[in-house]
Amino acid sequence: MGQQAHRTARRRRLGAELRALREAAKVSPEEAAVAIHGDRSKISRQETGRHRVTRLELDVLLSLYKVKDERTRECLVALASEGHKRSWWRQYGETLRPSFKEGLSLESDATKIRAFQSQVIPGLLQTRPYATAVMTGSDPLPEEELEFYLDLRMERQEVLRREEPPSYMCIMPEGVLRQQIGGAAVMAEQLRRLVGLSQSSEMTIQVTPLSQTTFTCTGGSFDIFSYPDPMGLEVVQVEYLDGALYLEEDEAVTKYGRAWGRLQAAALPAQQSIELIASIARELESE
C-alpha cells in the first residue's frame, strides 16, 4: 500500500469534519468536487481520509461550506498541514506495514503519550539488549530483519530526546520488572535505564505493585496519544499479536481514559515506583 493510501488519524479527523460541514451546508459531493476541479470519488476519498486535502482545496471547500468561525478554520488548517509533515521513517519505504507507519506517525507528533504495558517494558524505553530478547522471544526473525527492527526501535526513541519531547507517562505491573527477559544482567541494565530516564521532567514512570488488590480490566496493553489545540485530537492504540487497532471515537477514547485513571490510582507514586525499580535492579546485580 502506497504512502498516499496510508490514512493517518489526522486525515480521518479532517475528512470527517469536512463531511459534516458539507452536509450541514447542504452541498452535494458533486458540487464540492466541481469547486476543487475534481470528481465525486476524490471528495469521497478525502472525507474518508484516503486522500490528502491541499491548503488551496481546503480554503475553497471552507468558503463553499460558508465556514466563517475562525476557531473551526484554524483547527482544520492545523489538521491538514500536520498531515503533510515529512516523516523520518520514509527512508524505510514499503518495508513497514501501513498500520506500523500509522503508529510511528502518532508517536512522533503527539505532545502527550500515556502507555500501559502489561507484559514488557514499553518500546520507547527499552535498551537494545532487552529489545533483542523481546523480539527474539516474540517471533523469531532472520538476523538481518532482526537488526533492521532493532535499529528502527532505537531510532524511535529519539522522540524522547528531541528539543521539545512529548510528555511521556507509563504504567507497568511489578511483574514486568521482575521477569528476567534476556537474563539478570540484561534486566538489571534495563531497570537502571528506567531510573535514569525518570530524571527527565517530561517522564513519569509508575508501577502497580504485586501487593495491589484492585483489578483494573484493560483488555491488554494500550497507548493514548494526545495532540494540542487546535487539533484537539486523542487516539488510542491497542496492540494485538499481528498489529494494532486505532480508536478515535469519543466513547472509546473516554473509556480508555477512565481505565488509565484507574490504573494510575492503583499504581505507586512516581518516586516510590522508581525506588522499587532501583531496588529490583540491585537484587539482580547481586545475583
Output the average pLDDT for the chain.
Answer: 88
C-alpha to C-alpha distance for 230 and 82, rounded to whole angstroms: 11
7 phi, psi to nearest 5 deg: -95, 115
In contact, 120 and 239? CB cutoff 8 Å: no
Is 50 exceeded by the pLDDT of residue 3? no
Query: How far is residue 112's CA from residue 160's CA, in Å, rounded to a whole number?
Result: 11
How many C-beta atoms surround the C-beta of residue 264 within 10 A?
A: 17
pLDDT in tens, 114-166: 999 999 999 999 999 999 999 998 777 899 999 999 999 999 999 999 988 99
pLDDT tens-digit map of 52-86:
899 999 999 999 999 998 888 888 887 787 544 55
Which position has the higher pLDDT, 96 or 275?
275
- Under CATH, which architecture does the 3-82 domain have? Orthogonal Bundle (1.10)
Q: Where does the chain hold its CATH 1.10.260.40 domain(s)? A: 3-82
Tell me the CATH architecture of domain 88-285.
2-Layer Sandwich (3.30)
Q: pTM score, two decimals?
A: 0.80
Asked if residue 142 lies in contact with residue 197, where contact means CB atoms within 8 angstroms, the answer is: no
Residue-wise pLDDT tens digits, 206-219:
999 999 887 777 88
User: How many residues make up the chain in this entry?
Assistant: 287
Report pLDDT digits (tens) over 236-279. Answer: 999 887 778 888 888 999 999 999 999 999 999 999 999 999 99
- What does the alpha-carbon distance between residue 133 and residue 137 come to, in Å, rounded to a whole number? 6
**For residue 242, what pLDDT is reported?**
77
Residue 232: partners with Cβ closer than 8 Å, 6 or more residues away: 75
Q: What percent of the chain has pLDDT over 70?
A: 93
pLDDT of residue 171: 97
DSSP symbol at 157 = G
Instruction: Name 183's Cβ contacts closer than 8 Å, sequence gap at least 6.
Output: 133
Every domain of the chain with CATH number 3.30.870 lies at 88-285
